[in-house]
Amino acid sequence: MTTCSSVIANSGVKFGTSGARGLVSDFTPLTCQAFTLAFLHAMQANFEFKTVAVGIDNRPSSPEMAQSIITTLEAMGFAVAYYGVLPTPALAFSAMQQNIPCIMVTGSHIPFDRNGLKFYTPEGEISKADEKAILSAPIPVKELPLTPLPVVNSAAIETYTQRITELFPATIFAGKKIGIYEHSSAGRDIYAAIFTELGAEVVALERSDEFVPIDTEAVSDADQAKALAWSEQYGFDMIFSTDGDGDRPLISDEHGQWLRGDIVGLISAQFLGLEALAVPVSCNTAIEKTQRFAKVERTRIGSPYVIAEFLDLAKDHNSVGGFEANGGFLLGSSVQYNAKHIAALPTRDALLPGILVLAAALAENASISQIVAALPQRFTESDRIKAFATEQSQAILARLTNDSTELLNAMSLRDEVVDTNTVDGLRLTLTNGDIVHLRPSGNAPELRCYAESNTSAQAKKLVVAALEAIQTL
């Protein structure tokens, strides 16, 4: 008997920090159907539902994967709410409002030859315990002939946009000029309309018919040059973009300088007046240095770990949220703003922080760069080595954890390590306050480096030096 667990185990698809990921060739119809059955099995143990929502990103492989998923759902007697191409947070928010689970077909920012699946319970992102239940599902599976995709339902996008636009006056961004870098983002058809509804003048930039793997933690030199050129050409107050599935923002100031994701999150959290935060260990220490939050809890990298802290934080604090170094913003509790209610959305979102950063600048009668400059000045940079096997990364980090001198020497650093943090990877704090953090990616065969210092130039220098050193060890 072929079981879901055996199919998944032999598929090459693995759970990372943001869903199940693998090569497109690994996501065969049988693999997708096995994941779907296993997910249903895990959900039925804790929830009652008759409908499952499904969405996709703009990857060329996503529609066929959705066919496999929907074929399985319908064969099991479930109704399907198919929302087509839309941002992951839009799908998740709509499903949560309906109290139903959902599946998003997306590989987020990874290259187009890969794809993935994100799963949500009626209450939000699946937990690590849910992942284990999916991976171990003992139920039988056999490949089914694919049925056509249903007609696309637009209700999820409407629910998602209303959550934002209802908070602000329709003219709040009047006089502001916003660039929307559309590329192949799953939300590219809705962002311009939202900013326009809020009064801004909007210019659409560089829509692509081919999938563009935008990584908001490691913005390419080409995208940095584009933002600078666009800002000079158009005189933007802000450029807004996202990764592939619209859950991580990419936001520039009025000069075309892309903001680091954790700075975007920090500005957003301050503007909402959140009392307590959960953030990954890789985020900028300016968060604590602002002294604006009653509690800041540091977690492993990945939204499941951030979300897991929300329950404990909510015991002692009225408003709870979090964000990641990639900019994804998570609202762990409902909050009041402008005498209006913002419903919780405990999954990464790109749109809300995009709106809040510009609103924060307006509230201070300042530019975005001035808002950033008012924060404690700690600078973070990050980059990665691609095609670097996870096993190789783990072996190197295990060696360096026992003795980091080899790394410091290879980087030509004279400072000593005053703190070693192994919550997630290897994070070294040096005597001069600089930080070097090495970590295998949870989504792809890559080794990531995060660095923090008192200047941007030094942070960049640390990243380059660390990644070059790693390849010589």
Q: State the catalytic residues.
A: 108
**Alpha-carbon gap, residue 466 to 436, rounded angstroms:** 8
Of the chain, the end-to-end C-alpha distance in Å amounts to 46
If one counts every other C-beta atom within 10 angstroms of the C-beta of residue 259, the result is 24
Burial of 272 (0-12, 13-18, 19+ CB in 10 A): buried
CB 329 within 8 A of CB 323: yes
Task: Return the C-alpha torsion angle 59, 150, 97, 13, nearest 10.
Answer: -40
**Alpha-carbon gap, residue 232 to 468, rounded angstroms:** 34
- Per DSSP, the three-state class of 298 is strand
Taking CB atoms within 8 Å and a gap of at least 24, the contacts of 434-439 are 434/458, 434/462, 435/285, 436/407, 436/411, 436/462, 436/466, 437/281, 437/282, 438/393, 438/396, 438/397, 438/400, 438/466, 438/470, 439/282, 439/301, 439/393, 439/397
276 bridge partner residues: 295, 320
Pairing of strands 276-280, 295-299: parallel
- The helix or strand, by DSSP H or E, that contains position 161, with its residue range, turns out to be helix 155-165
**Alpha-carbon gap, residue 116 to 86, rounded angstroms:** 15
Give the position of tokens 């959550």.
163
**Alpha-carbon gap, residue 187 to 192, rounded angstroms:** 9
**Alpha-carbon gap, residue 411 to 285, rounded angstroms:** 23
**Alpha-carbon gap, residue 52 to 101, rounded angstroms:** 5
- The helix or strand, by DSSP H or E, that contains position 418, with its residue range, turns out to be strand 417-421
CA distances, 175 to each of 179, 200, 274, 414 (Å):
13, 6, 29, 51
- The number of residues making up the chain comes to 473
The H helix count followed by the E strand count for the chain is 16, 23
Give the position of tokens 């404690």.
376
20 bridge partner residues: 15, 117
